[in-house]
Structure 1
Amino acid sequence: MSQNVTNAIEEYDWQETISCPPGYPVDVYEGGLESDKGSTSLYLGTHTGASGWGHTGGSMSSGIKPLPNRLDVVWLSYAEDTFYHIDTKLDVDKIHSLFEEGYLDSFTKKKTTYTTIVVGFAPGGVVVIWLFGSGKQVEVSRHEGKKIVISEQEIAKLDSHEKLLFNAEYRKSIMLNEKIVPLELREANKNKPIPFGLWDTYRKKYNWKPSYSIPNGGEAINSYFIFVNGEQEELTDETFENIDFGLRAIPRTMNLGWRDFTGQRYGGSVIFNEQETTKAYQSLYKNTAVKSAELIFKVNESNTSVVVLLKAEEREIVLRETKIEIFKSSKK
């Protein structure tokens, strides 16, 4: 089916949003997602990226409308003090297929689909498109914009608010605003070059699956992964028995729920150390004989701690730098 035909007959209930990495705020100057029937603006105010690369921000136009077949945007990268422009076709057939395929909702146990199209802007002009829905986020495509200079004639026609983006002191104040770039993050990045290309390395995927070891006949009941590439995946008790190996990016965070043999419920959150986890995956898969691996979450006898290890065949790498918090539920 051609893009034009797909876009003409299929409409879904979705909203738009933008994303950026923490410490690298952006503002859309003009443009947005386009279809044959109109456009959806991405002019949504300054985005801080505080929640992480790929996470959703604000939106202005939720509703039933055609899926986009083009992205045409000019945006400002504050950290680079640079404007970028992208004008590119989108694979509307792929977007349509993903919306149509949907996924299993963990609460209703029924098929649902995506609700948000996320457009992410990273340093270097990198643009990534994701589809987001409750419990699921998938990457659609990666693009790259080009640096652009807005003419003085165009700037002169703008109102006072729009002109702020072209005020050097205002742009500097954004990077110094601790509500936009927290002091801790600003200090961590101080005197360091912008890591151009980093967000492309996040897109590297490995063939692996999560595995859960709960003692004394206990069982895992849910887990929720957020990966470094911005994708998200939720697993529930209905799917644990059939978790498949698959191409997944390196995990950034994971929430886990389980019950012990008495039915007592527990929950835990895992924050991975990015450098340690990346090194472990690279080290393991450097051996070309390794075709798949398991990321194992091993709960101790007293349900008070979790050991995380990456395993392939006879080799195990314990991830010791993970930050883990565990709580005991008041309900069984």
Structure 2
Amino acid sequence: MKIIHQLLGLGIIVLLSCNNSNTKKMENKDSFSWGSTITAPHKYPIEIHKGYLANDRQMITAYINTGISTGDWGFGNNAYAGGKTIPTKLSLIWISYADKKFYKIEAVLPKDKILALFKEGYKDKDSSHITYNDITVGLAPGGFVVIWLTGKNRSIEIAHYQAVETFVDVNEFYRNPREHTQQEFYDYYYEASLPKQTQEYIKKNGVPVNLWKEFRTKYNYRFNIHFYKADKESSERESEYVNGEKEIIRAEDLNTYQNKALPSYCRFWFSQYNAEAEFDGEEVLNAFKKISKNHPDKNIEIEAKVAFMYKTTTFTVKCEGDEIPLEKTVVRMWKN
């Protein structure tokens, strides 16, 4: 009888062990380690007041004030701890110094979409299969909010929201050593934190509160590269987009029309030279808006002409004989 009891006990232990193992496998299946980052458009600084990412049961990571944040749209530079479970809620209060306003967002995140993208992952430049590292929150003037999953050579938008204006007393926001009034605080940090170039732009055009919403518009286009002598792109192309996304375009897809956001940066690899192009987002957007209005539903090309001896490359938006040069593009060329 004692032996039977021992066997039964052993069976229960084995059964429980299997169940626990299966439970852990189920949990691990939906578990990915990630950090979180905050970013803002280049030259349009923001500063966090407070906030957090949470799931249905608990807060996962807190956002605290770590100072003024700028960066590149889509690529965070203020890093915070993350977690292993997928967040379902974003709560955040921050100030946009260009607007001189505080904003608040309370948003439900697309959990299933985030989990599916973590599981799917992507191929890196060396064709190894990896997945994302961070959940990045972008905060633009006007209270426009975008969420991306970001990783090595990859950024993809998962959601966008519109925050509401809110009020935070300057004395609650920070120690206020200069004893500023609310308006003095706004004016002082506008002058101190915004580059002069941005201040001049706002004085002339106003705060571009709709620009980052327009950057989300996708167009059907491709690059068409012309060389002064026989050459070709020798491998994949590194591409960043005005909507904050980033990817490596495989060699087999380089010449195909694709429905994508407009380029903000491209790195080209030719047989003997490399080229980098930094596009002016507003210039590219205005060119595509004008071309697509004149030629609705037509494929558009960005013609890239590589100059003699690879001294530079010029870029022109073209469609059915209509041409708009991209004169503000910054180009760098160097030999392999």
Taking structure 2 as the reference length, the TM-score comes to: 0.80
2:92 equivalent to 1:78: no
The secondary structure found in structure 2 opposite 1:42 is strand
Q: Within 5 A, what are the aligned runs for 1:196-235?
A: 196-214=209-227, 215-235=229-249
2:139 equivalent to 1:121: yes
TM-aligned CA deviation for residue 117 of structure 1: 0.9
Q: Within 5 A, what are the aligned runs for 1:97-136?
A: 97-106=116-125, 108-136=126-154
The equivalent residue for 2:79 is 59
TM-aligned CA deviation for residue 8 of structure 1: 9.7
Contact 1:205 1:249 in 2 (8 A): yes
TM-aligned CA deviation for residue 150 of structure 1: 4.0
Residue deviations 1:157-191 (CA, integer Å, cap 9, x gap) = x88489999865555443333xx433333344346
2:61 equivalent to 1:40: yes
The equivalent residue for 1:174 is 189
Q: Within 5 A, what are the aligned runs for 1:148-297?
A: 148-150=166-168, 155=172, 160=175, 169-177=184-192, 180-190=193-203, 192-214=205-227, 215-235=229-249, 239-243=250-254, 244-259=256-271, 264=272, 266-287=273-294, 290-297=297-304
- The number of equivalent residue pairs is 308
Gaps of 5+ in 1: 1-5
The secondary structure found in structure 1 opposite 2:234 is strand
Contact 1:290 1:312 in 2 (8 A): no
Cα RMSD, aligned residues only: 3.1
TM-aligned CA deviation for residue 16 of structure 1: 0.6
Residue identity opposite 1:228 in structure 2:
V
Identity %: 28
The equivalent residue for 2:108 is 89
The secondary structure found in structure 2 opposite 1:233 is strand
Check 1:294–1:61 CA distance in 2 against 1; reply closer, same or farther (3 A cut): same
Contact 2:291 2:319 in 1 (8 A): yes
Match of 1:30 among 45, 50, 58: 50
The secondary structure found in structure 1 opposite 2:243 is coil
Q: Which one has a bigger Cα radius of gyration?
A: 2
Contact 1:7 1:35 in 2 (8 A): no
Residue deviations 1:223-280 (CA, integer Å, cap 9, x gap) = 2222111111222xxx212344322112122222211xxxx3x122212233432232
Gaps of 5+ in 2: 1-25
Taking structure 1 as the reference length, the TM-score comes to: 0.80
Residue identity opposite 2:252 in structure 1:
E
Moved more, 122-131 or 192-201: 192-201
